[in-house]
Every structure is written in structure tokens, then in C-alpha cells.
Structure 1
Amino acid sequence: MVQIACPDVEKHAVTMMKQLHQMKRENDHCDFKIQVGDDVYYTHKNVLSAGSAYFKDILKNDTKMRREAKVVLKDVDSQCVKNCIDFIYSGKFEMAHKKIVELLRVANMLQLEDVKRAVSGTLEESITVENYFATRNLTKMYGLEAVSAKCSIFLKENIMEISHQPEFGNIGKQEFINLIQFEESKLWEEEKLKLSLKWVEKNPKKQEHLYECLEVIKFDEISTAMLLDLLKTHPIISNNLELYKFINGHILKAREGLKKTEKGYNEELIILFDDETDCIRPLIQ
């Protein structure tokens, strides 16, 4: 037997899909309708089955949708459904960026993994400090692994800016500890302490994990001036007696080291919590 093949098989496949797409537009030989609200899209069963696991399942079994040659999709955006149909036929579509969330929901429902991968590329290029947590949530909801990896990198590179976002406190304990320990982030120890306090500030429930975070911070590399400022001004510290004593203890350790090297140490720079009187007083030598 002699095999006869098109000189350009890929071009042939593209031409066939273009023809099918044109037939869809002209309602030519269409045998299946997709209704979304008042909009009705005419399609071909074979094309839908080949392009979507969702349609393949409902069209290969004896379902009402198969018998009626029609499916009604509720509570979805009609334009996003049209985009998904266009993608099945042509591998491409145009859409407004604001529709990405709804498009992912529709693509996930129709089991269109290629659409989700295509949208992932757009999401990866559009991550910002402001939309970081919204994008991160999408990766978890729809299993967008490539975008999730990009989000992890973005967080490590922009953690100081992202810490000001309201959702910063939603980061889990172990992930947060890993972040402040991450060597390539090149965070100063002072920044790690500020981030830990900000994490609790954004979500007070995280305070029970604060000491675990503080354990990975090298307090001997933090300036005494900063620690003193935190004692005086930061509400999380001033409202937590044990935490106040913890920070104050590191100040005292720094003072002892400084006394050994600088005789002219300014005693008014240290504030001491007095266990006997349960009050704060200047350290008197």
C-alpha cells in the first residue's frame, strides 16, 4: 500500500478548523445549541466533543441534552462562553482583561484546560502588588501551577510592599516563616521584625504564632534604637506584656555588650520593665 499525505499536514488541519469555524458562524450543518440567557450559539457536536471533556461526556451518554441537542448554561457570562467556543474552534479569542476571573470559571466548568493555560500566561505578566492576593487566590481555585510559581517569586521579591495589603495577614504561619528565612530575599533582620509585626497587625489571630517567627530573627543584628522605638510606639508590643519583656530583654543584652566597649553609654536610651513594680522606668546605672 502507498501512503498519500498532504504536503503540509499542519496547514491542512488549520484550514479544516477555519472551515468549521466559518460553518459555525453561518449556522451551516450545526447540530447542537448552547444557550446562555437570551443568547444562543450554534455549534457542531463532534467539534465540541473533541475540544471539551465536558461536552464529550454529555454527548456520548444518553442525556436529555444529547436528545434535545441543546444545553442551557446558567449563571455564567455569555461573552465568556462565546470566547470558550471560539477557542475550541480556532485556538484563540479576544477578551477584556476584566473578564479573566469569569472566563476562568467558565473554562473550568467546561473542562477547557488549554484555555486555562492560555489565560495563565496573561495572569503571569500582569501580577502587581495591588492584585497579588486576588491572583494568588485564582491559582488555588483553578489549579494554575505556572501562575502559582510566578506568584511565589513575586512575593519574595516584593514582600515589603505586599505587606501593606489587607490580605497579608492571611498568609499561613509556615509560609510566612519560610519567607522571612529565605536567604535570597536579602531581608535585613530589622525588616523581618517589622514584617512579623505587620503580619500580626493585619490578622490579630496570628499573634499566637508570633514567637515562632521571632525565633528565626537575629536580634543582635537589630539596632537598639529601633527596638526602643518599637517599645515606645508599637501597639502590638505595648499591649502584650510578655512580648514587651521579650524585646526589652534583647535591649538589655545589647546594653551589656555596649557597656564593655563604650564607657560613655547614654543610660536614657534604655527603657526597662520593672517586674517588682510592674511599670516601665528609665534604666539607672
Structure 2
Amino acid sequence: MEEPLSDTPTVVGNDLYMQKYTDSNFTSQFLTGLVDLKNAGKFFDMNICVGSTKIPCHRIVLAAASDYFRSMFGGTMKESFTNTVTIHDVEPSTMECLVDFCYTGSVVVTEDNVTDLLKASDVFQFPTVRESCCEFLGKKLHPSNCISIHNYAESHSCTQLVKTALTFIASNIVEVTEYPEFLTLGYDIMRQIMSHSEVNVDKEENVYEILLYWLRDNISTRSESFCRLMECVRLPFIRRIYLLSKIETNPLIRKSSLCQRLVKETRMFHTCMLDLQDNASIRLQPRPSTGIAELLIMVGGCDENCDQATSIEAYNPITDSWRRLAQFEGNLRGGYAIVTLGNDIYVTGGSQGSQVYSRVWRYNSQVSEWSEVAPMLLPKEYHGSVVLNSFIYVVGASGCECYDFLLDRWTMIASLPHPVTNCSVTSCLGKIYSIGNAFNSEEMIIQVYSPETDSWSVLPCPLPQMNFVPHITSLKGLVYFIREDSTEVLTYDPTSFKWSKIPPMLQLHLGGSAAVFNGSVIVSGGYDEQFGLAGTIEAYDPDKKAWSVIGMMPRPMFWHGCVSIYRFVSTPTGLKFTADADLHDLTPLLKPPAS
């Protein structure tokens, strides 16, 4: 141990030499000394009285350990100059625990004292004791007590314990329904549970049936809440036959305008009529326990040696893993476009040397196979493709076409009034937006197509000078313009005609790809600021207004295509909710009482 300094300072030249000495054992020895004084009953200067119990202690120790007692003893209250302080509404044993904590910094939490200790530590401002009680309750969660613990935590503003309990309820929802407390839940907590992605069921139909079970317990007062809670059921992932036979026949759903909108949305999803980018919501995100996931698909591209890939890679964000899908049977040389219709992927056109293709390939995700479908009427390269109202539209300098997948047939639509090169397109609020370079000019032209009138119009373009045509995509009613020559991103709001800047990307993505995935704008791959080929995938969350890295490509690529699809990726891990045979029969419950 270092020797203490002498009382006489050491002088070196004209400077005073000093050294600070710290005893590393002082704090623990000091606390031990306080405990020894307490145990020996020495120097007490006050008593805490709880009922008939007196707890002798040192005023300064309590004031040092608790802001509550510091304010009490340091102010003008009578407790600041009396030797006895009376405490109400707390058990003597609980107060003794808190006083002991002031001396030792430790407390024993048990099933018998945890609720009283949590409440008292909250009142007397012992935050670490409060946290230890919350942690203890979090470890004791069970389907039989999780609702009461959640309610207790909420009443005492224990934010983290509320979240922990809510996640536990969702993760064990099937078992929780077996206890009577479930049927006492109110609208607010039911909405939080039903909205939770961790609801652990083997298929989404179970969520609807659990909600129906809750409704039946008090249908007279819960009918309106039931209809509002239907927003939390992820109807797009319910089988069509179940939707038709069980949900659409529900008399409450048939009478509710909100529920009818939800059913219409689901039908549009099933028939590929729903614009997933405009209608991005939690309902379009499958629950992990059902075995369905939204996958990010990378198609083709070039590596750092400019070798062109024909592989199709799928990224599962739940497992943070990549999986190779069926290899593309043709070649992906360049100039092609990629789009999804439903859960199938279409690759249109492209070129190799002087040869420009009109062929169209389709990837069937159900059987994981590629096949050729009807070719476009005209060959196309460096064009754009987009889906709107279940039709595939291709937009390019050589003409614009529309594909009907039911008829496997292409038809010509109005041509661009100003033909452009390196066309990028997206759909937003029922219209198609196209941007590209005017021929023999560096001018960027934005053109908007209306399917109702089969006509194009030019949108005034206040974009700054760019070296490359930006990627464009849309999400929640905004068109995003993602630059390739900088990290800048701009948005256009078609309803207000307003242009805005959003926070810049975390890095440059020259030659990268853009898409919408899991409710965010995704940008992947390409060259970064150091001219290195990067495999970074970053996402922009429009709610948080921030970019974050969500993963890495299996290998760095540029000029690749990027889309997303839904697919069964594993056997469902959730539990099955077993309902009574008459669960769906609400007629007897809706009958007016006999007069």
C-alpha cells in the first residue's frame, strides 16, 4: 500500500510538488464503520416511528442516501429539528429494509415484501431499490400473474416493467387466456397486446379468435371496442377461405364501416391491388411466430471484378441471415428492371452488347422456380418497372407498356412526352412517377402518369444538379429521391406539392439499389465515399426520421436489383388457441332481451 504523504510539502525549485493520495478502501471501510455504529447503537440522533415500531438511525445517513429524507431534514419542516419522525402507510419491516439499505447499499427482495418494498422505495426515493423490485417481478412473471403485475407496474409508473410484462403477455397469450384475469382487460391494454409483434400464435386466425373470445365475455359493452381492435389483427395474413367464411360473416364486422374498410384492404392485398408502399402499416408485417416473414431480395448485380451475378439472395431480418434462392436461368447482363407483383418477382428486358431484350422472367416464390412469361411488345434497356393496381408498368425511351398477369398479356400505353435515358420509376397515390435524363442533355425530367386518363404530365423539377439519375421510391404518400452522387435525399408530397430534405444517408451508395422493406426505405450496396465497394444496407424510418444500418449484403455488389416479398420461411413456432365450438356464433348474444 502506498505510504501517506508527509505533512511537509516537497519543494522542487520554485514549484511546489504535491501528490494526491486516495485510499481505495476508504469507502468500504467508512460504510463498515457506519454499520458497526448502527449495530452498537452509537450516536443515534433520531427515531423513525412506524406504528408501534421505533427504528433508531443517524439523520445524516438517511439524508445522504435518499433525496426524500434530505429534503425533509434540510428544510423548514418540523422533522428537521425533532428527534422523532412518524411514517404512515408503510409496513415496519419494509421501513427497516430501507433504513438498512442506507447503511449497507443492499436489500433482500422476496415474494412477500416485493410489492410493499417497491411502493415504499418509490415514495421515499430509493431508485435503485425500486429497480431491483421491478427486476425481481420481471423474473417472476407467469401466465397466472402477468396481468396483475402489468397493472401494478403501470400504477407505479414502472415503465420498463410495464414493457416487460406486456411482452410476456403477448409471448404467452394462449396460456394467459386460460386465466380469468384475461377477460377483465380493458380496451387500451388489449390494443397494446393485439398490436404486439411478439403475439405467439401459430397463425393469425388465432389472434382474431382470441379477440372474439374476449368480446363474447361482455358483448354488450365491447362491440365498439371489438371493431376498433380489428385494426390490430393482421388480416392480410389470414387465409382467404377463413376471411370469407368466418370474418366476413361476423354480424358486427358487417355493420362496421371501419371493419369493412379493413376487409376491403385485405381483399386488395390478396388480389395484388393494394399499393404496399402507400399503405405501409403494422398490419402488413407478419408475426414471427407464424413462420411468415417479409424478405429482402437481391437480384443480380456486379462484384468488384465486374463479374455479373445470376444469384438471387433473400435476407431474413428476424434471423439476420441470407439464403440463396433459385438461380436465374437466363443472364442478368445489364439494363434490366425488377419488380414484385404479389409475392412473385418479374425481371424485364435488359441488354448484352448491342442486343436489347424484350423477354420477361417470373420467379414464383411458392415453388421457387423461374419461368418465362409473355415478352414485352418492344425491347427495353435501362428502363423502369413498377406495379400499380395489380398491373406491371414498364417505362422507357422506347415506349411504355402495361402487363396483365391474369391474361399474360402486354398492351401499349401513352409514351413519355419527353423520352429519357436511365429511367427510374415508382408509384404513389395512384400515379406513376418517372425521372430520367433528357436525350442529349443533363437536364432531369420528372413525368407523372395517370392510368385513368392514360396520359403523362411534366412535374416542375427543383432538384439540384446531379451527376446521376437518382433512385426513386415511395412510402406512405411521399416520393423519395435518393441521390447516387451524394448522401442527400429529397422527398416530394403529391398532396401538398411540397419538396423537402430528410436527414442524409449514413454513406454514399453509388450504383446501389433502393426499395421499401419492413416499413422503411432501404438503400443497399454500391460504392462509398472512399470508392470502395460496400455491402452496407441502411434503412430510413419515416417515423423516427433517422437512418440506421440494418445488415450487410452477403457480398458487396453494385447495379443489383432490390425488392421484397412475403414468404413462409419456417414451421410456425407459436401455440394454437383452442376455441369453443360456438365461438363464431354471436347471434344468441346479440338478441335483445325478452320483454
- Letter of the structure 2 residue corresponding to residue 53 of structure 1: D
Change beyond 3 A, Cα 1:121–1:50:
same
Amino acid at match of 1:211: C
Question: Which residue is 1:132 aligned to?
Answer: 146
* Alignment map for 1:101-120 (pairs within 5 Å): 101-120=115-134
* CA distance in structure 2 between the partners assigned to 1:232 and 1:19 by the alignment: 70
What is the match of residue 29 of structure 2?
Answer: 15
How far the C-alpha of 1:152 sits from its partner, in A, is 2.2
The CA deviation at 1:220 is 2.2
Measure the CA separation in 2 of the matches of 1:85 and 1:138.
Answer: 24
How far apart are 1:212 and its partner, in Å? Answer: 2.9
Match of 2:105 in 1: 91
Q: Is the 8 A contact 2:147 2:169 kept in 1?
A: no
Which residue number in structure 2 is paired with residue 195 of structure 1? 210
* AA at the equivalent of 1:197: L
Alignment CA distance shift 1:80-1:202 (3 Å): farther
Identity %: 19
Code of the residue aligned with 2:206 in structure 1: it is E
Code of the residue aligned with 2:93 in structure 1: it is Q
Structure 1 CA distance for aligned equivalents of residues 188 and 58 of structure 2: 50
Give 2:85's match in structure 1, choosing from 65, 68, 71. Answer: 71
Contact 1:177–1:213 (Cα < 8 Å) also in 2: yes
Once the two structures are overlaid, the 10-residue window that deviates more, 213-222 or 48-57, is 213-222
SS in 2 for 1:35: strand
Q: Which whole-Å CA distance do the structure 1 matches of 2:193 and 2:101 have between them?
A: 39
Instruction: Find the counterpart in structure 1 of residue 18 from structure 2.
Output: 2
Aligned partner of 1:237 in structure 2 is 586
Structure-2 separation of matches of 1:37 and 1:181: 47
Q: Does 1:222 align with 2:250?
A: no
Q: Which has the higher contact order (CA 8 A, sep 6+)?
A: 2
Helix, strand or coil at the partner of 2:68: helix
Contact 2:109 2:136 in 1 (8 A): no
Q: 2:107, 2:129 within 8 Å by CA — same for their partners in 1?
A: no
How far is the alpha carbon of 1:175 from its aligned partner?
Answer: 4.7
Distance in 1 (alpha carbons) for counterparts of 2:142 and 2:189: 20
Q: Which secondary structure state, in structure 2, belongs to the residue aligned with residue 34 of structure 1?
A: strand
Aligned length: 239
Greater shift in the superposed pair: 38-47 or 205-214: 205-214
> Any conservation in 2 of the 1:231–1:237 contact (CA below 8 Å)?
no
Question: Are residues 28 and 241 of structure 1, via their aligned partners in 2, closer, same or farther at CA, if it must alter by over 3 Å?
Answer: closer
User: Secondary structure at 1:68's aligned position in 2?
Assistant: coil
CA deviation after TM superposition for structure 1 residue 138, in Å: 2.3
- Provide the C-alpha distance between the structure 2 equivalents of 1:93 and 1:241, rounded to a whole number of angstroms: 55
Deviations 1:46-65 (A, max 9, x none): 11111111111110012222
Mapped contact 1:169–1:206 kept (Cα < 8 A): no
Q: Which amino acid aligns with 2:135?
A: G
Q: What is the aligned partner in structure 2 of residue 206 from structure 1?
A: 222
* Mapped pair 1:148 → 2:162: yes
Per-residue deviation, residues 172-201 of structure 1 (Å, max 9, x unmatched)? 435534533544435323311221122224
- Distance in 2, matches of 1:235 and 1:159, equals 20
**Runs (5+) with no aligned partner, structure 1:** 243-285
For 1:231 and 1:135, locate their aligned partners in 2 and report how far apart those are by CA, in whole Å: 28
Partner residue, 1:121: 135
Once the two structures are TM-superposed, the CA of residue 160 in structure 1 deviates from its matched residue by 1.3
Aligned partners of 2:160 and 2:39: how far apart in 1? 34
1:191 maps to amino acid: N
Paired with 1:239 and 1:223, the residues of 2 have a C-alpha distance of 22
Is the alpha carbon distance of 1:140 and 1:20 closer, same or farther for their aligned partners in structure 2, counting shifts above 3 Å?
Answer: same
In 1, Cα distance between equivalents of 2:217 and 2:41: 55
Greater helix share, 1 or 2? 1
The DSSP-based 3-state class of the residue aligned with 1:98 is coil
Q: After the TM superposition, which of the residue ranges 202-211 and 230-239 deviates more from structure 2?
A: 230-239
**Residue 222 of structure 1: SS of its match in structure 2?**
helix
- What is the letter of the counterpart of residue 234 of structure 1? L
| 1:162 alignment partner in structure 2 | 176
Unaligned runs of 5+ in 2: 1-16, 248-578
Q: Is the alpha carbon distance of 1:178 and 1:134 closer, same or farther for their aligned partners in structure 2, counting shifts above 3 Å?
A: closer
User: 2 CA distance for matches of 1:37 and 1:186?
Assistant: 48
Q: Specify the alignment match of 2:51 in structure 1.
A: 37
Contact 1:231 1:238 in 2 (8 A): no
In 2 relative to 1, CA 85–128 (structure 1 residues): closer, same or farther, beyond 3 Å? same
Q: Is the 8 A contact 1:52 1:112 kept in 2?
A: yes
The TM-score normalised by the length of structure 2 is 0.37
1:79 and 1:232 map into 2 onto residues whose CA distance is 52
Q: Which structure shows the higher strand fraction?
A: 2
Q: Return the letter of the residue paired with 2:140.
A: S
Task: Please provide the CA RMSD for this pair.
Answer: 3.0
Q: What's the offset of the Cα at 1:226? A: 7.4
Structure-2 change in CA distance of 1:119 and 1:63 (3 Å): same
TM-score by length of 1: 0.73
Contact 1:48 1:55 survives alignment (8 Å): yes
Match of 1:252 in 2: none
In structure 2, C-alpha distance between the alignment counterparts of 1:185 and 1:207, rounded to whole Å: 22
| Post-superposition offset of 1:151 | 1.1
The answer (yes or no) to whether the contact 1:30–1:42 under 8 Å persists in 2 is yes
Give the partner amino acid of 1:213.
L
In structure 2, relative to structure 1, the CA distance for the partners of 1:236 and 1:57 (3 Å cut) is farther
CA offsets, 1:187-224, max 9 Å, x none? 32331122112222445432222223346884625388
In 1, are the aligned partners of 2:45 and 2:83 still within 8 Å (CA)?
Answer: yes
Whole-Å Cα distance in 2 between the matches of residues 182 and 95 of structure 1? 31
